Structures are given as structure tokens and as C-alpha cells.
């Protein structure tokens, strides 16, 4: 009996050439071709209406098999292929409907923040404070829940777009994160079925204005995520979406971020406190997930607060997650009028 060959690895993104219109690109080996153009050549009629990645995700159960068939058929002489670097790379999903962020979700990151801020019982030296923080994280994992909030879609930018550092903050910081992209919506999803709702994964960088997180005018309000994380360009997304079939274990991915050549974050997704299934279960308990939604799953240790070093005009930030590509942003200070 003929056995179907293994599906060729592919990714999906949103691109444009020069001043041309945006198009959905099929990405193979860092080369991009128009998905609709390839679908026309190979008679994959389901994909001919796929004018956005969001449209693909809205009917993912049908489109994913069609994409797999198309990937098996295509060759580099089909249609017009471009090197990824030749194109303008827009946000991989342009644009998501909802963005959820899971905060304080990497064990070492939270422990470092606790020690750096010296938050804990009085009289502890640094080593004892670290042990206390580690025990607190263990207890949180055993009996606590994820902590999630939303981020405005207007913060999304492309993986290689410049990052404009707004004049509203003196402490712009980086947070490299694994993004989970929803392919099947749902409400009150169990953790056992959570991954059935995932289409794939991408890179995000949850840029944060550290000095704008706490509200000082009325401290009982606590944190202000709108002003600290919602400013334009504060969520580079992409360069592309990698279907989950090509990411065997999203909890074992290497993550690395540098700022002007200096390594700042060099960890793996294995340090997550609450895994992807728990996050989907928690978020969907209170909010209905929709196709195309993005869940930012938390950032590992090595943020600017740890080094007391924040983004400045002229910095070059480069980030990568194993198997998901890389991002590069040049930081530009906002011109004051």
C-alpha cells in the first residue's frame, strides 16, 4: 500500500514586495511565494480565498490539510519565489483579533525579579531571599493559577520593523516570548483538549515600559498594563507562523535575545511555570478564544530590569526561538515635537 510521504515543512506569513499589496506567503527554506498563486497552479481551490492569514485560521480544520497537500506539491520553480530578506515582513497574523499575555510565568525570571527588587521578608540576605522566592514559586505552581491580561492589537508590528521608543517612558524593556496562535476557538476549554485548539507558534517580543507598570497616583490600582505594554510597536509578531505539526515539543525550545550584540536572554521554554495547556484552560474559563488569537506565554530571565539596562536610541535588538525564525529591530527614539 502506498504510504503518504512526510509533509514538507512550511510556515505562513504576511508580506509585500516594494510598494505592492500585502499577500499571504508560503515560506519554505526562508523563501516566500504567494499562497494564492501556488494554490491556483496546483488546483487547491480551498486556498484561493486565503487573502489573509487570519482567513486561513478561521477555517483551519479545512485549510491545514489543503496546506499540507500544497506543500508536498510545490517546487521552487512554481510561481515567483523571493528570499525572505527581499520582502517587507508584516505581522505574521495581520492582525489578530485578541492578544492575551501570561505574566510572571517563568520561574527563574520571577525569582530574579524578586531578588533584584528585594521583595520579601525582612532580614534575609540575597541567598536566603532567593531560596524564599524559589519556594514561593513552587507553592504557586502547586496551588496557584496563571496570571493573564490583554494587550491591544494596535501594539502589533512586523518582525523587522523599527521600534520607536516613545517619549512616555525612560525604561523600555524587552520580553522575548513564545506565541501560541489559536486555530479553533472555544470557551471553557479543558487542558486535556487545549492543544487541539492550537494552529501553531510564532515569536513575539512583549516590549514593556517598566516605569509605567505601577500606578503611583493611586497605589491600590496596582499595575497599568495599557500604558506600560500597549503602545505602538510594543509587540513585534513573526516573522511567520509555524504550524504545530512542525513543533514537536513547544515546552523544549531554545530562546535567545541580544541587545547591540550583548546576550541578555538565553533560556528555554522548559522554565515555564504554567504550560500552554494550563494557560489555554485558564484564559478560556473567562474569555472566549477566537481563531487567530495570540497567547503570549511569558518571558524567561534576562530582562532589562535584571541588568538595570534599558533600550536606547540606536540599539539593535535581535531575538530568536528554535525553529520559529528570528526578529531584528533597530530602536529609534521618538522625535519630540
- DSSP H helical segments within the chain, as ranges? 35-41, 53-58, 60-73, 107-117, 126-143, 225-229, 276-286, 304-307
- Supply the DSSP symbol for 261: T
299 versus 336: which is more confidently predicted?
299
pLDDT score, position 337: 60
How far apart are the C-alpha atoms of 260 and 242, rounded to whole Å? 27
CB 110 within 8 A of CB 129: no
pLDDT band at 115 (very low <50, low <70, confident <90, very high): confident
Helix (H, G, I), strand (E, B) or coil at 120: coil
What are the boundaries of each domain within the chain? 11-90, 99-105+146-333, 107-144
- Supply the DSSP symbol for 241: B
pLDDT score, position 1: 37
pLDDT of 174 higher than 80? yes
pLDDT, tens digit (0-9, with 9 covering 90-100), for 261-314:
999 999 999 999 999 999 999 999 999 999 999 999 999 999 999 999 999 999
Average pLDDT rounded to a whole number, residues 90-98: 97
pLDDT of 169 higher than 90? yes
This prediction has a pTM of 0.95
pLDDT score, position 182: 98
pLDDT band at 114 (very low <50, low <70, confident <90, very high): confident
- Supply the DSSP symbol for 21: P
Please state, in angstroms and as integers, the Cα–Cα distance from residue 256 to each residue in 141, 234, 307, 318, 326, following that order: 25, 18, 16, 8, 9
Q: Give the burial class of 204: count Cβ atoms within 10 A of its Cβ; 0-12 exposed, 13-18 middle, 19 or more buried.
A: buried
Q: Give counts: helices (H), strands (E), the chain.
A: 8, 20
Residues 6+ apart with CB under 8 A from 72: 5, 7, 8
How far apart are the C-alpha atoms of 133 and 124, rounded to whole Å? 11
Fold of 99-105+146-333: Fumarylacetoacetate hydrolase; domain 2 (3.90.850)
Average pLDDT rounded to a whole number, residues 88-97: 97
- Can you spell out the DSSP letters for 121-141? STT--HHHHHHHHHHHHHHHH
pLDDT of 103 higher than 50? yes
pLDDT score, position 80: 86
pLDDT score, position 119: 84
Nearest alpha-carbon partner for 298 in 222, 210, 205: 205
Provide the pairing of β-strand 198-205 with 176-182. Answer: antiparallel
**What grid cell was written down for 73?**
506539491
Helices 107-117 and 126-143: crossing angle, nearest 10°? 140
Amino acid at each position: 500500500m502506498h504510504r503518504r510521504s512526510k509533509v514538507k515543512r512550511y510556515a505562513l506569513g504576511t508580506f509585500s514586495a516594494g510598494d505592492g499589496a500585502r499577500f499571504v506567503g508560503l515560506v519554505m527554506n526562508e523563501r516566500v511565494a504567494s499562497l494564492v498563486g501556488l494554490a491556483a497552479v496546483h488546483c487547491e481551490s480551498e486556498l484561493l480565498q486565503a487573502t489573509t492569514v487570519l482567513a486561513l485560521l478561521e477555517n483551519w480544520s479545512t485549510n491545514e490539510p489543503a496546506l499540507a497537500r500544497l506543500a508536498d506539491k510545490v517546487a521552487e520553480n512554481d510561481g515567483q519565489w523571493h528570499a525572505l530578506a527581499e520582502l517587507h515582513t508584516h505581522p505574521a497574523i495581520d492582525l489578530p483579533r485578541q492578544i492575551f499575555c501570561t505574566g510572571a510565568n517563568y520561574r527563574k525570571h520571577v525569582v530574579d525579579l524578586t531578588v533584584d527588587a528585594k521583595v520579601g521578608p525582612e532580614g534575609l540576605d540575597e541567598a536566603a531571599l532567593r531560596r524564599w522566592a524559589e519556594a514561593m514559586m513552587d507553592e504557586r505552581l502547586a496551588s496557584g493559577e496563571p496570571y493573564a491580561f490583554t494587550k491591544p492589537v494596535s501594539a502589533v508590528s512586523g518582525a523587522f520593523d523599527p521600534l520607536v521608543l516613545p517619549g512616555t517612558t525612560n525604561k523600555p524593556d524587552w520580553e522575548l516570548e513564545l506565541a501560541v496562535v489559536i486555530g479553533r476557538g472555544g470557551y471553557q476549554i479543558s487542558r486535556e483538549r487545549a492543544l487541539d485548539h492550537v494552529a501553531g507558534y510564532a515569536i513575539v517580543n512583549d516590549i514593556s515600559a517598566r516605569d509605567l507598570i505601577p500606578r503611583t497616583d493611586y497605589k491600590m490600582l496596582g499595575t497599568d498594563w495599557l500604558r506600560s505594554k500597549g503602545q505602538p510597536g510594543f509587540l513585534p509578531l513573526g516573522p511567520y507562523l509555524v504550524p504545530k505539526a512542525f513543533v514537536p515539543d513547544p515546552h523544549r525550545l531554545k530562546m535567545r535575545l541580544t541587545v547591540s550584540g550583548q546576550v541578555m536572554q538565553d533560556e528555554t521554554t522548559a522554565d515555564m511555570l504554567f504550560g500552554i495547556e494550563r494557560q489555554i484552560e485558564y484564559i478560556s474559563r473567562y474569555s472566549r478564544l477566537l481563531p487567530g488569537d495570540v497567547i503570549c506565554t511569558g518571558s524567561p530571565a534576562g530582562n532589562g530590569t535584571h541588568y538595570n539596562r534599558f533600550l536606547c536610541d540606536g540599539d539593535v535588538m535581535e531575538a530568536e526561538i528554535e525553529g520559529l525564525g528570528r526578529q531584528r529591530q533597530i530602536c529609534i527614539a521618538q522625535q519630540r515635537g
